[in-house]
Structure 1
Amino acid sequence: MEEATITLAALSTSLLLLFLASLETIRAAEAPQVPAFFVFGDSLVDSGNNKFLQSLSQANHSHNGIDFQGSVATGRFCNGLTVTDVVAQELGLPLAPPYLDPSTNGTAILKGVNYASGGAGVLDETGLYFLQRLPLGKQIEYYGNTRSQIIGLLGQKAAYQMLSKSIFCFVIGSNDYLNNYVAPVTATPLMYTPQQFQDAYKLDARKFIIAGAGPIGCIPYQLTVNFQRNSTCAPQPNELVLNFNKALRQTVFDLNGQFPDAKFVYVNTYDTVTTVIKNPGKYGFANSDTACCGAGGPYRGLISCIPSVSVCSNRTEHFFWDPYHTSEAANYVLGKGILEGDQSVVEPINVRQLARL
C-alpha cells in the first residue's frame, strides 16, 4: 500500500511537471519573437498616417477596412490587414500604430511604430500631386524622434538592446515609378537607398527587411490604362521595376558586407506576386487581375475604392483589393512567404530566422 502511495505521488509529480512544461511552451509560443516591429513605406503598408495629413491619398473611408476588426476604415488601403500587419501578428506583436496618431506616444511606441505614408517614395519629390505625404527621409527622421522617446522611457542601454533586436521593414519604391511615371525614370532612387538604410543603422537598427518592388505592370490600373488584353501585364513598367530590384538586391548584399553586426534580408516581391497572379487557383484566388473595389474598364482599374463604387462579395477570392493594392487575403499569402519562404522568396534568410538572430 505504501509502495502504491509512493507511485501515485510520483505520477502526480510527473503530471504536474508535464503540465508546467506545457504552460511554458504555451507562454513561449505567445511571447513576441522580437521586441518591436517598425514599418517604413508607402500606401501598401500605411496604417493610417495619411489620415493626419492634408493629402489627396486617403483611405479613411468605406469600403476600406470592411474586413478589419469592427469594419473600421483605419486609413489602410485595404479591406483588412496589410502585409506588415500580418508579419507583426505572426511575430506575436500588436499592429504597429501610425506615428502621426496623437495617441502614439508613451508605452504605445515600445512594440513598434508605423511611419508609412500613401503616395510616398524614396525620392522627396515623388507624389507631389498628392500634396502632403511622408517621403522616406522624413520617415527615418521621425523614427529618430521615436528612438529618443524610447531612450527616455527605458534608458540608453536598455533602449539600444531593445532596438538592436527589433525588426525594421521597408516597403517603398513603387511610387518612384508609378507617380514619377511621365518623367525619365532611371536608377536615381538607388543613389538614395543605401544612405537611407545607413541612416537607420546609425539609429541602432540592426535587423532589416527590404522589400523589392512588385510587378506594377500587372496591377488593375496599369492593365486598364495600357489597354492590356487577356490580363497580360504591361511590359514597360515591369522592366523598370526589374532593373530597380536587381540593383536593390545587390545593395542589400553589399550592406550585409559593410555592416557585419547587422542583417539585411531582401524580399523578392516581384517573383512572388507574379507567381500568384499566374497561378491564382493554387493560392485560393478566383481572380488575380481585377480590383474588388474599383470601377472603370474590364479590370475596374480607373477609379479607386471610394464609397460610391461597388465592392465584390467574394473578397477572399480577389488578389487585388483596389486598382493599386492587394487584398487582405493576398497579404496573408505574401506575409507567409516573407516569414517562412525559401531563398527564392526572401534571402539570405527568412524573417523567422531573422527574428531568432
Structure 2
Amino acid sequence: MLAVLCWPLLSAAAPAPQQLHLSAQQISRAGIATASALSALAADAPPAGNDQYLSGTVVTPPGASALVSAMPGGVVQDVHVVTLQQVRTGTPLLTLFSQPWLEWQRDYLEKSSAAKLAAARQARDEGLYSDGIIARARLEESRDAAQLAALAAREREQALRSAGLDGTALRRLRDSHAPSPLLTVRASQAGTVLELPVQPGQRVEAGALLARTAASGPLWVQLQASRTQLPLLRVGDLLQVEGCAKLRVTAISPVVDSATQSAQLRAQQVGQDPCLKVNAFVEARLLRAAPPSDSVAVPAAALVQRMGEARQDYVFVANAHGYAAVPVQATPAGGGMVWVRGALAAGDAVAVRGLAALKGSWSGLGPASLSASQGGK
C-alpha cells in the first residue's frame, strides 16, 4: 500500500492511549503475540515505500507530435531528410513543384500592387478634400477601397506564410516580382522525423500528409494504480524507472475502471533522458523520503482501527498491566512494515497476533476492563 509523502502533524486533539487490563493467563489464552518496534530497518530493506511499483506506457504529450501537410497540391520534387533524423525549426523537409503555389504568389503580387495603388489614391484624395476640391463622399469611397485592397493583400500574405514563406522571402518576392513553382516545406518545430510517407515524383493533393515529427522534450507515462493504491497517491509523487528516468505524477483519474478495478494516472519525465521511448512499456518504482527521526517501524499487521471512530490508526503496546491502545500516525516502510509516530519507542512490544481478542476487549465485548489513561505503560 502506498502513502503520501508528507507526515501529518500529531494533533493536540488526538485520542489518548487507552489501557486494557489483561492478566498473563488471559493473554496466553487469547494467543496474543508481539513484535518489537524498531528504530531502523535491516540494511538490505528497501527505503520507505520503495517496494511499490506501477506499470504503464510511454506516450507523447499533446502538441509534441506535429503533422506537416501540403497547403497547395503538387508533385514531390525532392526529399531532404530521412526518418529518425533530428531536425531544427525551419529545416527543409521536402520540395514540391506546385502550379497552385505559383498562382498563389501571382495573386498575392496582384493584390499587393492593388493595395499600394488604393493607398496612393486615398492619400491623394485626402489632400484634395483638405483643399476643398472634392466632396467627402469621394474621400470615403477612397478610404473604403484602400481598406478592402489592404485586407485582400493581407489575406493572400497570410496564406503564403502558412505555406512556409517567412517575412524575408515575402519581401524578396515583392521586390523581384518573380514567383516560383517550387515550394520548400519546412519543419515547424525541433524534434525527430517519425514518418515520411512520400517520395520524389509522387503527386500529393492539397492537405495531404507529407511528414510527421515528434518534438524534443519530456515524455509522459500513462500508469495504472490499483483501487487500494489510488486514494493514497498524490500529485507530485516521484517515481523511478529502473536504470532510466525519474517521473513526477501530474494527474490522477477520479474514475476506476469497472473491469480491472484500477485507475489511470499520468506522470511526466523529469529532464530529457533519451532512455524513454514512445510506446515502451515501463515499470516505475515509488520513491519515498527517509522517515522522521522520532518514528519507529512496526509490522503493518499491528495497525488497527476502532469502529465508529474517524480514521485513526492504533497499535496495542504491551505493558505491566496488559496492553495500551496507542494512537499513531503511520506510513508504509516497505516489506510489510510501517513507520509510526506516537507514544511508543524502539524496543516496545506491539501486538501482531490475537488482535481480534484485544479489539473485543477494547470495545467492551470481552472480560477485560477498559479504562482511559495518559500513562498507560
TM above 0.5: no
> Taking structure 1 as the reference length, what is the TM-score of the superposition?
0.18
| Larger Rg computed on CA atoms | 2
Hey, which of these two has a bigger chunk of helix by percent?
A: 1
Q: Say which structure is richer in strand.
A: 2
Give the structure, 1 or 2, with the largest relative contact order (CA under 8 Å, sep 6 or more). 2
